[in-house]
Structure 1
Amino acid sequence: MAMAYAAFPSYKLAQGSGFLQQRIMCVRKKDKERDLHHPFEVVEITPPPRNLGIRCFPSNIHCGESVTIEGQAYTVSAVTHRYQLRKGKYEPREKRLDVQRTGRYILNLYLNDLLQKS
């Protein structure tokens, strides 16, 4: 189970293309652990969608993994990496986790299985 690390964000403002860009880095006590965790925007996708903020998770987090955020158990439904084309290169723009509460996730799996069987 992955735990959401408290992100002590380090903000960098970079100017490019006429706008300021904000970068958030996950800061840990040891430098070798710093590269293992990345900031993700976390969104609970059950209607209505609710933003749970920016949290630090391991870079290899995947669908179906259980995470705990503010004492609530969630299951990752989707991991999205978005890129933007700049100066002929694709640069990472956003990392997003779509999560559901664990009970809701299991119920959806069960209902989808029933639908497939009918």
Structure 2
Amino acid sequence: MRRTTQLLGASLVLASGLALTACDSTPKIAGNWKADDGTPVKVIAQDSRCQGMFYNGTKPLDIGGGMTCSFSTKKDANGRYSLVVSQPPNQASYTVDFTGSDTVAVYSGTSKIYTMTRQ
């Protein structure tokens, strides 16, 4: 009886974990992206490394060296996800709005900088 109870408990824990995983609706931002501002393809890797994502105002800026992108898992009060791009000593925060699974509008404050489409 005890063994059956343990197996039932383990099955419930596993099922709950699978259900939570299935409910994860956070869009995936990793991939290659083409921006509508004419800049080269932007790359965001699963391990947070990225290329071409740092902007100084509305212009891209790359000082060389590693760049990382940190993407939030929850939307803010405006319905957007946050994106923090770091290329030391520079760091900038943006918000992103997924207008589809493969299209993202990138904002600095309330101003849209560009829209990018997954390649």
What TM-score comes out, normalization by structure 1 length? 0.25
Please identify the structure whose Cα radius of gyration is greater: 2
What TM-score comes out, normalization by structure 2 length? 0.25
Query: Which one has a larger percent strand, Structure 1 or Structure 2?
Result: 1
